[in-house]
């Protein structure tokens, strides 16, 4: 079975299960999604949402973040872990958005990558969820599951992204990535995946390999 066919089947099955899935990070302004995504590194989205509920009220504007006392901001984001680095990123992102982009989140990958603490994963999230453009967000769920399905042989996010761009239709690519995240939480988990009840197992390389091993 070709990678294109596997991708087609995966998209079809995931759409049946998660037709209405959305980004699990809460935000009401474009920059808030970017800040929440930065805080989510090595932290659960659920915890980030708890932190940002208070954080975005305390700092309601980019100017407020830019002018924040760094030590105080560190304490505000401490529950998300790596708080020294993350607080510094938020403050610097706010400063750069105000200084270089007139307080607006840029709409191109190239410009997004100039922001402190922003890599391709977060930039793609912004491209897809804020600007409605084709985007492949290669988080750990995406890398793990597309690897198990046989859509990529790579583990490096940028290489996985390049592989998936070839087989996932651009108009649904952002939605597909959100579906993959939820699927990874519910069924195709890192440890103890529920292969027996997985609706994708009839074309999954990982399932076939493990089923053979179990029969030995």
Residues taking part in catalysis: 121, 139
For 140, phi then psi, to 5°, come to -65, -35
What the block records as the tokens of 34 is 């970017």
Which residue, among 61, 83, 63, 60, has the nearest Cα to 73 in the 3D structure?
A: 83
Which residue, among 73, 75, 84, 86, has the nearest Cα to 37 in the 3D structure?
A: 86
Q: Are 83 and 4 in contact (CB under 8 A)?
A: no
For 95, phi then psi, to 5°, come to -60, -45
């Amino acid at each position: 079975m070709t990678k294109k066919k596997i991708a087609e089947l995966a998209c079809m099955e995931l759409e049946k299960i998660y037709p209405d899935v959305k980004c699990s990070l809460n935000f009401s302004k474009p920059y808030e999604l970017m800040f929440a995504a930065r805080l989510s590194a090595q932290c659960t989205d659920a915890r980030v949402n708890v932190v940002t509920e208070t954080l975005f009220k305390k700092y309601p504007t980019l100017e407020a973040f830019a002018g924040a006392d760094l030590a105080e901001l560190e304490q505000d984001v401490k529950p998300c872990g790596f708080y020294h680095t993350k607080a510094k990123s938020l403050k610097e992102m706010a400063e750069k958005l105000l200084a270089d982009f007139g307080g607006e989140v840029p709409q191109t990958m190239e410009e997004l990558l100039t922001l402190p603490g922003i890599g391709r994963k977060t930039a793609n999230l912004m491209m897809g969820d804020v600007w409605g453009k084709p985007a492949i967000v290669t988080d750990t769920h995406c890398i793990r599951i597309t690897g198990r399905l046989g859509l990529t042989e790579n583990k490096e996010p940028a290489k996985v992204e390049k592989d998936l761009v070839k087989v996932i239709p651009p108009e649904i690519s952002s939605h597909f990535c959100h579906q993959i995240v939820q699927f990874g939480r519910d069924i195709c988990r890192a440890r103890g995946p529920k292969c027996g009840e997985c609706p994708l197992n009839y074309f999954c390389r990982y399932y076939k390999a493990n089923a053979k091993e179990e029969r030995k």
